[in-house]
Amino acid sequence: MTQAPEKFVGGGLWRKEDPALVTGRANWTDNITLPGMLHAVFMRSPYAHAKITSVDVSAAKEQPGVVAVFSGADLDDEYEKHPRENPAAVTGYDLSLHDRAQGHTVTGETEEAESSEETKRSFVAWIVHEELKVPHHDPMAHDEVNFAGEPVAVVLATDRYKAQDAIEFIEVEYEPMDVVTDIEEAVAEGSPLAHADFGTNEAYTWDLTDGDIDDAFSKADVTVKGRYLQQRLIPNAIETRGVVANPDPISGGFTVYTSTQIPHITKAVLSSYCGVPEQRLRIVAPDVGGGFGSKLNVYSEEVITLVLARKLGVPIKWIEDRSENYVATIHGRGQVQNIEVAADSEGKILGMKVKLLADMGAYLHLNTAGIPLLGAFMYPGVYTFPAYSFECTGVYTNKTPTDAYRGAGRPEAAFAVERIMDALAAEIGIDPAEVRRRNFYEPFDEPTDTPAGIQYDSGNYQLTLDRVLELADYEGLREEQRRRRESGDPVQLGIGFSTYTEICGLAPSKVLSALGAGGAGWETAKVQMLASGNVEVITGTTPHGQGHVTSWSQIAADVLGVSPDDVEVLHGDTAIAPYGRDTYGSRSLPVGGVAVHIAAQKVVEKAKKIAAHMLEAAEDDIEFEGGTFSVAGSPDQNITMTNVAGAAYTAQDLPEGMQPVLSEEYFFDPPNFTFPFGAHICVTEVDTETGFVKIRDYFGVDDCGPVINPTIVDGQLHGGIAQGVAQALYEEAVYDEEGNLTTGSMVDYLIPGAPELPNYTLERTVTPSTSNEMGVKGVGEAGTIGAPPAVINSIVDALSPYGITHIDMPASPWKVWQAIQDAQGQEAGTRDADRSGRPSQAPDSTDTEGGSTS
């Protein structure tokens, strides 16, 4: 091995992950082929809500290549009647699975449920409220389907084409039922019910109040309120989901390869749900082609693939196709937000009220109910004020379930607060930068209380705002904007701010437990020096594009005094990394990376003892630098880390009582979350004649604490901002009244391509976190959280002379154009439209009655 005195943390090392990826040699789930493997294809409900009256699979079974066909009812016995209890898989509430199996809610109802023999199944892992209504969720529907795309039958055949062919021969009879899709209609009197047995579509209501909110509003000089829509989004990882389940005849267990962010959680959930003893289940996340939260779940198809491998005794493979991905993989967002702020005449906030409706979709997935609550703590954002109230009602609809999508609850919060700050600035007539400044916390470097009752770790919001104003040449932009306004330029300039913070680094186990999410927020790492002096880092985090192999190598290399090339990072296989809590919520570095750092330090501590013994010196006299231990004052007396590792391995002459080898494990349970922050400015050019919005420049100054690899961090921000811009301008999952997803393909759902996105001008400030010894905060979601309000604020800023105060996302040319027409009045709008040669999708193009005769 090579000795490496230089330091690697903070350097933009090229990624170690890349060689396999750029040469087409990665190991995706769909690349796994096993002898005797059968291919599964699912038949899915075309109805959003219907009774299933019959399923006839007999003709399908006769098709060429078909080995077996099962309906939902056929597989009923394959799930355990009394699932294995596993606290890693279910809620931290003191509620036995058996109680839930009886259909009890957690309020402690004492009467026996009528269907006491029936097992109640669900995938839910976050019981947000003691009265949360959890629907029974079979992996394949039995009697009733609750969203279009829910699986109802499965075909196993020798190849995918044959399995797909046989689907056509399955006869399913449905009795359509009334459908509810809109969350505001769902909570109105007389709405159809997604789950009739609950008697309501409300899953739960969760609230939080801090300070005297009524007093704040009674003292206010001004109040501003907003109603904002968080459209549903479809995560669209370019690799769809996929599973291969392989029986192991020796142990009687199974290896499940699955495209997931969470192999460890999947192990616990599949064990519990399917009744496979946990020690006989090995979960492998091979190379995973993106997740963005959509692979932070355990899905029906994983359960069914596993139980079919058990039932048939052969490997089973299922690969999701894109049209399935649109309906069978979770969606994100889906909220109606009402926010109201009370302030004094100077724009200083006195209080904030937030009321949400959050779309759960048809069922609860792992964290469906909890996602809005990640926002609950973040609506106050970077602003300090005395009173805050929050209330969220989760609502069932006959649509694909929602769950975590990049940012998960926090982009929603940042959007609402950053939009309302602009409204407040407009109301009192000051610059939007200034209203933010007036409400910022003073810079702080120790935990500080917030209006939402939590503590931020550290912050210096003024610094990022000041820097982004310089970077963007704010004064120059305002000058250009003034010129364009005065000259009546049809293309107006918009300047939009977002000064955000987010909650990352999930999380302290006790806090997660108190929130009903079952605890276990720790992360673990094992650092082991092999006899050769090379290093293995075993991490419980599970990267799917984030570059952990490179970053963790940098961390370990610096502590151990080796080169990153001498380090291998092992992950994503529960047989190699038995413990771990996986990758989501920007947690990998501030929890898992810190565990690597501490474990590596423990290796050095032990090595130092061995070095002292070998050099016949006192341990206190041993210095460690650049991979070499030496005696203070006698640098010639030294021994390399490599040699110590060899000595620790051969164990011929270790200090009395010391165990052989250098291998240290550490479980890090952080004392607090981390709170990255930043200030973004989006500069748009808005064509007032066509409604087309072009992002001319995007400036971001972000602070995620010290940076391990700046190239990777910039990449995370690029991609995050891109997804935020995508929400602001392009993407929306649209349903019709019957509950059909009308944007069910990449043709209908506008994922931005290279021409639609800007370049990103980024800088950083460094404010170390107080939540871990490295001071790191996490960065995976920052861009997605910061960007949507910056974009919309920019468009509204451009159009403010028209009196336009809001445009819903996605701000399509049609919506922008329509807002301008509405602002100018219908008559003026028609005239402008005729003159400008409006786009063909203009709304009045279908309004021929009484309209223009042209």
Partner 1 sequence: MRRIQMTVDGNAHVAEVEPRLLLLHHLRENLGIGGVHAGCNTTSCGACTVHIDGESVKSCTVLAVQADGHEITTVRGITENGVWHPMQQAFHEAHGLQCGYCTPGMIMASISLLKENPDATEQEIREGLEGNLCRCTGYENIVKAVQLVQQHRDEMVQDAAS
Q: Does 538 bind partner 1 (CB under 8 A)?
A: no
Residue 548 in the binding site for partner 1 (CB under 8 A): no
d(CA 791, CA 415): 10
The contacts of residue 590 (CB under 8 Å, 6+ apart) are 504, 505, 670, 674, 705, 769, 771, 772, 774, 776, 777, 778
SS3 697: strand
SS3 781: coil
Q: Does 547 bind partner 1 (CB under 8 A)?
A: yes
Binding part of the chain for partner 1, among 276-284, 319-327, 506-514, 558-566 by CB under 8 A, reads 319-327
Q: Which is nearer to partner 1, 23 or 840 (CB)?
A: 23
Residue from 381, 691, 719, 744 binding partner 1 (CB under 8 A):
719
Closer to partner 1 by Cβ: residue 194 or 722: 722
Q: Which of 205, 455, 534, 711 binds partner 1 (CB under 8 A)?
A: 711
Structure letter (DSSP) for residue 519: S
Q: Which stretch binds partner 1 (CB under 8 A): 63-71, 261-269, 739-747, 840-848?
A: 739-747
CB of 129 to partner 1, least distance (A): 33
Per-position x/- string for 782-821, each x denoting binding to partner 1 as judged by CB under 8 A, each - no binding: -x--------------------------------------
Q: How far is the CB of 403 from partner 1 (least distance, A)?
A: 17
Contact between 588 and 637 (Cβ < 8 Å): no
The single residue among 6, 7, 10, 18 that binds partner 1, judged by CB under 8 A, is: 18
Question: Does 510 help bind partner 1 (rule: CB under 8 A)?
Answer: no
119 binds partner 1 (CB under 8 A): no
Structure tokens that stand for 262 in this block: 């969470």
How many residues at the interface with partner 1, by CB under 8 A? Answer: 59
751 binds partner 1 (CB under 8 A): yes
- The verdict on 592 binding partner 1 (CB under 8 A) reads no
Sign of the C-alpha dihedral, residues 683, 688, 690, 691?
positive
Decide: is 225 part of the binding site for partner 1 (CB under 8 A). Answer: no
747 near partner 1, judged by CB under 8 A: yes
Does the footprint of partner 1 cover residue 737 (CB under 8 A)?
Answer: no
Cβ contacts of 701 within 8 Å, gap of 6 or more: 464, 465, 467, 468, 471, 678, 679, 680, 762, 763, 764, 765
> Residue 186: is the preceding peptide bond cis (ω within 30°)?
no
Q: Under a CB-based contact definition with an 8 Å cutoff, are residues 400 and 431 in contact? A: no
In whole angstroms, the minimum distance from the beta carbon of 732 to partner 1 comes to 16
The reply on whether position 721 binds partner 1 by CB under 8 A is yes
| Centroid of chain to Cα 422 | 27
- Closer residue to partner 1 (CB): 10 or 655: 10
Alpha helix stretches (DSSP H) within 40-83: 58-61
Other C-beta atoms closer than 10 Å to the C-beta of 322 total: 12
Tokens 């389940």 sit on residue:
245
Binding of partner 1 by 292 (CB under 8 A): yes
Nearest to 580 by CA among 277, 244, 261, 243: 261
Both tokens of 87, joined, read 């606290």
Nearer to partner 1, 459 or 543 (CB): 543
CB of 386 or CB of 710, closer to partner 1: 710
Among 146, 191, 201, 240, binds partner 1 (CB under 8 A): 240
Query: From the CB of 767, what's the least distance to partner 1, in Å?
Result: 25
Q: Which is nearer to partner 1, 44 or 526 (CB)?
A: 44
Whichever of 105 and 711 has its CB closer to partner 1, that residue is 711
Burial class of residue 221 in the structure, from the number of CB atoms within 10 Å of its CB (0-12 exposed, 13-18 middle, 19+ buried): middle
DSSP character for 546? S
Give, as one character, the DSSP assignment of residue 564: G
Q: How many helices (H) and strands (E) does the chain have?
A: 22, 28
One-letter amino acid of 809:
M
Q: Is 66 in the site for partner 1 (CB under 8 A)?
A: no
The 8-class DSSP code of residue 754 comes to G
Contacts with partner 1 by CB under 8 A lie at 14-15, 17-28, 30-31, 33, 159-161, 236-240, 287-290, 292, 319, 321-323, 544-547, 711-712, 714-715, 718-723, 745-747, 751, 753-755, 757, 759-760, 783
